[in-house]
């Protein structure tokens, strides 16, 4: 990665270049180690897939996957800790190197305490790992993010493996290996049946989120360490914004605005050290160069805006980022066009895969008798984690009389009353060919227009076209038999009444609750909802 260092004294450029090389090495270290950790984990899982025809994830394989989830989280923690130390050292090294250089030349007089920047980098890395952050009003530390990321990865691995039911075990293992090494495109091409069973719900690269996390955390700590290193050097009075030269040709965003602003009268792209800008976006790889007092006076360290800067700046007022086609060569334009075409090809493939998957779902769902359905819903509920199962309404066979009852081959259930009330929605966790949204879509297509459910399911139903219109508070007197008072995971959730609108407006219950009509009585809330349905 190269930067335009024009205007920076040559004797200082060497320290910037060395630091950027160390940062590059830190990023490559993290990328390589993450890929190695994932491959080691996959190799261990493959050993337990078995031989012959794959019949599903048994307890032994599930336990191995859960153990590998812990392994990968621990490895990612180690990789980030080491990578952060390397990146922090890189940032600190610029100011520290210049300080030693100027002292050796006699340009900085007086006694200065020399810092052990290796130790300081280790402390910064440790502080970064332990730092409390807030996202969507939820406090977390980096280890929480690592655990969630690892959990999501291994749930996806379970989906991929499960999509190979009734396939030769060797083929399942090969598909998993190929996906980890080469991504989802090869999975779709070489293992279309497995890909279609997942409805195209396959991340392009299983390592993507881990690599993105590492790249962002390392670039952020490098940025902050660079500023801290400059502050330890009395010769450095300001910083200059250096645009990363690895950006797409013709691409412009907030980084351009920071590079070509003169907010402090020091020159274009120059900022007082105490007012050094924050890193503007995730994974930004721009840089801050040190500016000494003499260079500010000379004015030759400033950035030089492109000739069309006023036009670019005006466009950035209305768009966060864009690619200016006029700046591209014909070859670059064609490359960009092909990238867009490829993106739409993938979108088309994904939609076709989802369409085919839903066709398979339709072929596998059928109407059942009350006795058959009561048995199926009981079994499906038993396969749901206990902290969620209490929300599923499973009734006796007598209570299912005169109701349209449907189950899939995999044991997932949904029922529709004569008045369009959807009840007993439950995806059997062993039914890998069915999504919960399939059951809702099928119910709506078969006359379902309303439902009520506990608040823990709110996000799911709003995502599938249901609008909340009324609710009642949780009443222990009428709580489900399997609800447990005072036990974590068994919250006192409101019962929400929905009508189907088809508008998929995913919301959080706590954010909209005050706008929804509250009733003290269940029947009153239901009648109010029913009165809104034509």
Tell me if 458 sits within 8 A of 496, measured CB to CB: yes
Sign of CA dihedral 87, 90, 92, 95: negative
350 domain residue, yes or no: no
378 domain residue, yes or no: yes
**Residues 283, 214: one domain?**
no
Residue 121 burial (10 A CB sphere; 0-12, 13-18, 19+): buried
CA contacts within 13 A on the Cβ side of 424: 27
- Name the domain boundary from 205, 234, 263: 234
Distance CA 160, CA 198 (A): 7
Tell me if 80 sits within 8 A of 214, measured CB to CB: yes
Q: Give pLDDT, residue 141.
A: 84
- Name the domain boundary from 176, 208, 234: 234
The values of phi and psi at residue 296, to 5°, are -65, -45
Sign of CA dihedral 180, 182, 184, 188: negative
**Residues 369, 406: one domain?**
yes
- How far, CA to CA in Å, does 377 sit from each of 86, 191, 221, 484? 54, 32, 51, 21
DSSP 42: H
The tokens for 291 are: 């500016």
The tokens for 497 are: 């009444």
Counted residue by residue, the chain has a size of 534
* Stretches in the chain below the pLDDT threshold 70: 1, 109-114, 134-137, 184-203
CA contacts within 13 A on the Cβ side of 437: 13
Pairing verdict, β 236-242 and 322-323 = unpaired
Tell me if 18 sits within 8 A of 3, measured CB to CB: no
**Residues 184, 256: one domain?**
no
- How far, CA to CA in Å, does 116 sit from each of 104, 123, 249, 289, 349? 18, 11, 40, 22, 55
* 255: nearest Cα among 275, 277, 224: 277
CA contacts within 13 A on the Cβ side of 174: 9
- How far, CA to CA in Å, does 14 sit from each of 5, 51, 321? 10, 58, 32
Q: Give pLDDT, residue 105.
A: 84
**Residues 502, 398: one domain?**
yes
Pairing verdict, β 422-426 and 466-472 = unpaired
**Residues 210, 277: one domain?**
no
Pairing verdict, β 287-292 and 517-519 = unpaired
**Residues 251, 221: one domain?**
no
351 domain residue, yes or no: no
Angle between helices 59-104 and 208-231 (to 10 degrees): 20
Distance CA 151, CA 262 (A): 46
Decide: pTM greater than 0.75.
Answer: no
Among left, alpha and beta (phi > 0; psi -120 to 50; other), residue 411 is: left
Distance CA 165, CA 194 (A): 9
**Residues 57, 179: one domain?**
yes
Residue where the block lists tokens 């979108």: 347
Q: Give pLDDT, residue 202.
A: 63
Distance CA 444, CA 363 (A): 17
184 domain residue, yes or no: yes
**Residues 72, 203: one domain?**
yes
The values of phi and psi at residue 189, to 5°, are -75, -45
DSSP 287: E
**Residues 305, 437: one domain?**
no
337 domain residue, yes or no: no
Element (H, E) at 237: strand 236-242
Distance CA 471, CA 528 (A): 10
The CATH number given to whatever domain includes residue 489 is: 3.40.630.30
52 domain residue, yes or no: yes
Distance CA 503, CA 507 (A): 12
Distance CA 340, CA 73 (A): 35
DSSP for 151-197? HHHHHHHHHHHHTTTTSBHHHHHHHHHHHHHH-HHHHHHH-HHHHHH
**Residues 205, 80: one domain?**
yes
Domain count across the chain: 3
**Residues 253, 230: one domain?**
no
323 domain residue, yes or no: yes
Beta-carbon contacts of 205 under 8 Å, excluding residues fewer than 6 positions away, are 183, 184, 211
**Residues 384, 317: one domain?**
no
* 497: nearest Cα among 475, 466, 476, 520: 466
- Name the domain boundary from 280, 309, 327: 327
- How far, CA to CA in Å, does 133 sit from each of 10, 88, 213, 337, 520? 39, 19, 14, 39, 39
Q: Give pLDDT, residue 113.
A: 61
Residue where the block lists tokens 């930004």: 284
Distance CA 313, CA 306 (A): 11
Among left, alpha and beta (phi > 0; psi -120 to 50; other), residue 272 is: beta
Q: Give pLDDT, residue 140.
A: 77
Q: Give pLDDT, residue 507.
A: 85
Distance CA 479, CA 391 (A): 10
Q: Which domain holds residue 277?
A: 247-327
413 domain residue, yes or no: yes
């Amino acid at each position: 990665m190269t930067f335009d260092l024009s205007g920076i004294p040559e004797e200082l450029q060497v320290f910037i270049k060395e630091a950027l090389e160390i940062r590059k090495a830190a990023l490559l270290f993290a990328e390589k180690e993450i890929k190695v950790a994932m491959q080691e984990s996959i190799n261990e899982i493959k050993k337990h897939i078995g031989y012959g025809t794959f019949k599903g994830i048994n307890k032994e394989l599930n336990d191995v996957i859960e153990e590998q989830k812990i392994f990968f989280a621990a490895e990612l923690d180690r990789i980030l800790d080491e990578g952060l130390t390397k990146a922090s050292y890189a940032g600190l090294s610029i100011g520290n190197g210049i300080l030693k250089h100027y002292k050796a030349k006699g340009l900085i007089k007086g006694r200065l305490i020399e810092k052990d920047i290796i130790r300081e980098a280790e402390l910064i890395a440790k502080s970064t790992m332990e730092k409390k952050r807030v996202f969507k009003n939820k406090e977390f530390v980096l280890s929480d993010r690592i655990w969630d990321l690892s959990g999501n990865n291994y749930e996806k691995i379970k989906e991929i493996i499960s999509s190979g039911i009734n396939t030769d075990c060797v083929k399942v293992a090969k598909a998993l290996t190929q996906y980890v090494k080469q991504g989802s495109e090869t999975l779709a091409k070489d293992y279309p049946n497995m890909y279609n069973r997942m409805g195209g719900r396959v991340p392009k690269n299983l390592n993507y989120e881990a690599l993105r996390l590492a790249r962002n955390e390392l670039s952020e700590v490098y940025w902050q360490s660079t500023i801290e290193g400059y502050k330890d050097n009395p010769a450095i009075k300001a910083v200059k914004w250096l645009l990363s030269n690895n950006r797409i040709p013709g691409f412009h965003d907030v980084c351009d605005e920071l590079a070509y602003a003169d907010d402090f009268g020091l020159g274009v792209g120059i900022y007082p050290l105490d007012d050094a800008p924050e890193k503007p976006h995730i994974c930004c790889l721009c840089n801050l160069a040190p500016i000494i007092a003499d260079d500010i006076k000379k004015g030759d360290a400033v950035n030089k805006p492109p000739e069309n800067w006023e036009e670019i700046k005006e466009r950035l007022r209305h768009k966060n980022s864009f690619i200016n086609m006029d700046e591209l060569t014909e070859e670059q334009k064609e490359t960009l066009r092909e990238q867009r075409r490829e993106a739409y090809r993938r979108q088309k493939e994904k939609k076709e895969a989802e369409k085919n998957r839903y066709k398979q779902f339709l072929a596998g769902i059928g109407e059942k008798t009350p006795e058959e359905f009561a048995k199926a819903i009981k079994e499906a509920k038993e396969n749901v984690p206990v902290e969620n199962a209490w929300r599923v309404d499973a009734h006796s066979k007598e209570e299912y009389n005169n109701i349209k009852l449907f189950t899939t081959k995999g044991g997932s259930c949904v029922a529709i009353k004569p008045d369009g009330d959807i009840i007993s929605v439950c995806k059997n966790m062993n039914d890998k060919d069915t999504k919960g949204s399939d059951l809702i879509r099928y119910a709506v297509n078969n006359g379902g227009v309303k439902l009520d459910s506990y608040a823990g399911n709110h996000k799911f139903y709003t995502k599938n076209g249901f609008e909340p219109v009324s609710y009642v508070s949780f009443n222990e007197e009428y709580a489900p038999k399997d609800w447990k008072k005072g036990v974590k995971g068994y919250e006192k959730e409101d019962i929400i009444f929905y009508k189907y609108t088809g508008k998929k407006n995913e919301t959080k219950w706590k954010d909209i609750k005050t706008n929804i009509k509250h009733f003290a009585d269940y029947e009153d809330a239901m009648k109010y909802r029913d009165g809104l349905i034509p």
